[in-house]
Amino acid sequence: MRAVVYAGPRDFSVSEVPDRRAAAGEVVIDVALAGVCGTDLHIHSGGFFAEFPLTPGHESVGVVREVGAGVHHLERGQRVAVDNASACGHCPHCVRDQPLFCENFRSLGVNEAGGFAESMVSPAHKVFAVDDLADDVAVFAEPLACAVHGMDVLALRPGADVLMLGSGTTGLLLAQLLVHGGAGRVTVAAPTEFKLALASSYGVDRVVQVNRDAGQTYQVLRDLSPEGFDVAIDATGASSVVQILPDLVADNGTVFVYGMCDADDRVQWSPYDIFRRQLHVKSARG
């Protein structure tokens, strides 16, 4: 079968690789669609705990071709979406019910072969039927799960005035959850007009077109809300945007780092200002 294979960072080809087979407790899935997200850009450069050689692709939907021994909830020909992440269940983090921080964390498309291939193998308990969804809807299952986790961590106060910077796919998913999850008003600021139009069509209360200069963006948004927003969210993964978040929130406000910056990026915040204004800094991984 054909697959995208990275020999190392920025070194990839479309290659012929052996067909995958299902061991006990596994299924083989013929991939119909595999999403591409910002995380894949980090993986492309060797970031985000990628292990090589690697076939990326962590947002996958397809059809079950082979069912391994002991698998009874799935059958051949069934349309499914894949949860790419698996925890060991017995390390210190897992026994404290913190599987995202598992010491033996395995993630299809990150440190095991994923969905940028004609077929892939997944633990069967991480595969879910999507018979009632079109492929181009079901492929959003993984990024939507990330947005749901983001909402869980954010623990939004009902009626909050929320600002989100960025209008990529995962940002627009999160924006919809904010709109329907108790926010009093949701403002999305981003440079791309057609993405802002999508945000408006999804029910966002206010969109603001800004450029990619963080200083100018800060001034536009500060003028829009001089007292600050209750919550300011970065959905860009740009450290220059993360840098301005504390100055965009009101006292007792929340800074939410939702986008993924590069590992070497740094910001400079005043710890005294965070203390004096009782700011809350949160993030959501995966």
β-bridge mates for residue 275, sequence order: none
Q: Residue 113: which of 100, 123, 104 has the closest Cα? A: 123
- According to DSSP, the residues that pair with 187 across neighbouring strands are 163, 206
- Predicted TM-score (pTM) of this structure: 0.91
Taking each helix axis from N to C end, the angle separating 141-154 and 169-180, rounded to the nearest 10 degrees, works out to: 50
- Give the model's pLDDT for residue 286: 82
User: 165 - beta bridge partners?
Assistant: 189, 234
Mean pLDDT by 10 residues, the chain (286 residues): 96 95 97 94 92 96 96 95 95 95 94 96 96 95 95 96 96 97 97 97 97 94 96 96 98 97 94 97 92
108 and 162, same domain (yes or no): no
Number of domains in the chain: 2
Please give the residue range of the domain that contains residue 129. Answer: 2-139
- Give exposure, 221-259, as e/b (b: 16+ Cβ within 10 Å): beeebeebbbbbbbbbbbbbbbbbbbebbbeebbbbbbb
DSSP notation for 235-263 = -S--HHHHHHGGGGEEEEEEEEE-S---T
In this structure, the answer to whether residues 216 and 106 fall within a common structural domain is: no
Q: Tell me, yes or no, whether 88 and 210 share the same domain.
A: no
Q: For position 122, what pLDDT does the model report?
A: 97
The pLDDT score that the predictor gives to residue 3 is 97
What is the per-residue pLDDT for 77? 96
* Residue indicated by tokens 């959905």: 235
- 154 and 221 fall within a common domain: yes
13 and 131 in a single domain? The answer is yes
Long-range pairs for 17-23 at CB < 8 Å and ≥24 separation?
17/55, 17/117, 19/119, 20/113, 20/119, 20/120, 20/121, 21/66, 21/121, 22/66, 22/67, 22/68, 22/71, 22/121, 23/68, 23/69, 23/121
